[in-house]
Amino acid sequence: MIKKYRVWDKNKKSWVSCNVVIDFSGLLFWTFGYESRLIDDPETYDVQYSTGLLDKKANEIYEGDMFNYRWQILIIEYVNDMFHCKSTKYKNLSGGNYRLDSLKKECAVIGNIHENPELRPWPAQ
Query: From residue 23, how far is each of 2, 6, 27, 28, 39 by CA, in Å?
Result: 11, 15, 6, 7, 12
Separation CA 21–CA 29 (nearest Å): 5
Output the tens digit of pLDDT for each of the chain's 125 residues. 457 889 999 999 999 877 888 888 888 888 877 888 888 888 898 989 898 888 889 999 999 999 888 778 888 888 777 787 877 766 554 445 666 777 777 888 999 999 998 877 655 55
Residue 124 lies in a domain: no
79 within some domain: yes
120 part of a folded domain: no
Identify whether 88 is part of a domain.
yes
Q: Total domain count for the chain?
A: 1
Question: Is the entire prediction scored with pTM above 0.85?
Answer: no
Within a 13 Å sphere around the CA of 4, how many CA atoms are in the beta-carbon half?
7
Structural domain of 68: 5-114
